Amino acid sequence: MTPAKSSNRGRPIVHTEPWAKITVVLLDRHVAYLDRLAIDIRLRHGKAISRAEIIRGLIEAAFQSGVDLSEADSIGTLVELLTGSPMKTPKKPSSR
The pLDDT score that the predictor gives to residue 47 is: 95
Domain ranges in the chain? 28-83
Are 78 and 86 in contact, with CB atoms under 8 Å apart? Answer: no
The pLDDT score that the predictor gives to residue 43 is: 98
The pLDDT score that the predictor gives to residue 90 is: 74
Are 81 and 69 in contact, with CB atoms under 8 Å apart? Answer: yes
Burial 15-52 (b: 16+ CB within 10 A, else e): eeeeeeeeeeeeeeeeeeebeeebeeeeeeeeeebeee
The pLDDT score that the predictor gives to residue 3 is: 52
The pLDDT score that the predictor gives to residue 16 is: 85
pLDDT in tens, 30-40: 999 999 999 99
Query: CA-CA distance, 33 to 80, in Å (whole number)?
Result: 19
Q: What is the DSSP string of 72-86?
A: -SSHHHHHHHHHSSP
> With a cut of 70, which residues of the chain have pLDDT below it?
1-8, 10-13, 93-96
The pLDDT score that the predictor gives to residue 91 is: 73
Residue 53: name the closest of 72, 33, 34 by CA.
34
The pLDDT score that the predictor gives to residue 93 is: 67
The pLDDT score that the predictor gives to residue 88 is: 85
What global pTM score does this model have?
Answer: 0.74
Looking at residue 2, its amino acid is T
